[in-house]
Amino acid sequence: MEQSLVDELDYSIAVDFVKDKMALVKQTINLVLDLPNSKTVVDPVTGFSIEDMSRAIDDRLKYQLNTIEAPIVQLGITRYPTLTKIYYSEMLYRLMEESNKLDLKATAVQQTLEQYTGYQNENKKPLGNEVLTPSMVSPQFSGDFLDKVINLSSESAEALYKQELSNKLLFYKDKRTEILVKTRALERKINALSISAAKSEDVDVDIEVRSQTINLLNKRIPELLDVLSGYLSASKRIYELLDQESISGNGSLYQLNGSGVVVSGGYFSAIKQSLIVYFIILFLTTIVVVPWKMIRNSKSDEIE
């Protein structure tokens, strides 16, 4: 994490930069934390556990970074007022565009869900108070029984489809809420910059607070970047220890190509799962599909 990059940024943007880095480090730590036995391993260099680092990041965000950000936002402390205001205005515009796209997607999914539900209600057949007879569960599998099995399968597929649509709708709404929170934060920063620019230098009563905030920021940001780098190194060492344990008999750990997601399990568990699915399909084919086709063929022969 290059300090030189942060030195070139305006104060509020530098805080945003460190926040983003904190979120990435926390995400990496959480990935390791989700691995089996991760809570029992301690980093041999720092003595920290993965849970210790997770809590420490939350504390540093709350008590070190947020205490710097508050006066910067409220007082509009800035090096480059015009450039920073333009930067935040452009970010605000992009968030609004993204929000509009999410609204359109959510509306489309909502309409599809309503239309599909209405179609189901129009074409739904009333269920009678039918009782299973011995012929329905006989080894020969009557045609009515097989039709009921197919209907149940169709209803299950329809329920899954509706659930998929509902999940998409919820996802778009959650993303829309996240963007709304970011939008309000940007609007607040832009407003503070506008107020700060309108103040006269000779009547500014916040000079001492501004000076203290800038000095504190110049001290803490390099410290936080060093701490985050140390946490990344420590989480890597803990992951390597977990990987060694898994190789010794508890499975394997691997990283998905093109992503930062570390997954437990591995090749053999994937093969096991595939074999289970295969045998289930084979079993259902043997006891349902094959007898059904034999029955249908016999009925066709009787008709002829």
pLDDT of 129: 46
φ and ψ of 46, to 5 deg: -95, -20
pLDDT of 256: 34
What does the alpha-carbon distance between residue 185 and residue 183 come to, in Å, rounded to a whole number? 5
* pLDDT band, residue 23 (cuts 50/70/90): very high
Per-residue pLDDT averaged across 185-205, rounded?
A: 73
Structure tokens at 300: 């066709």
Structure tokens at 294: 């034999």
Q: What is the DSSP letter of 65?
A: I
Q: Give the pTM.
A: 0.64
Coil, strand, or helix at residue 42? strand
H helix or E strand, kind and range, residue 254: strand 252-255
pLDDT in tens, 138-187: 444 455 545 555 555 566 777 787 888 889 999 999 999 999 999 999 99
Q: Where are the domains of the chain?
A: 3-124+134-265, 266-304
What does the alpha-carbon distance between residue 206 and residue 228 come to, in Å, rounded to a whole number? 32
* Count of positions (residues) in the chain: 304
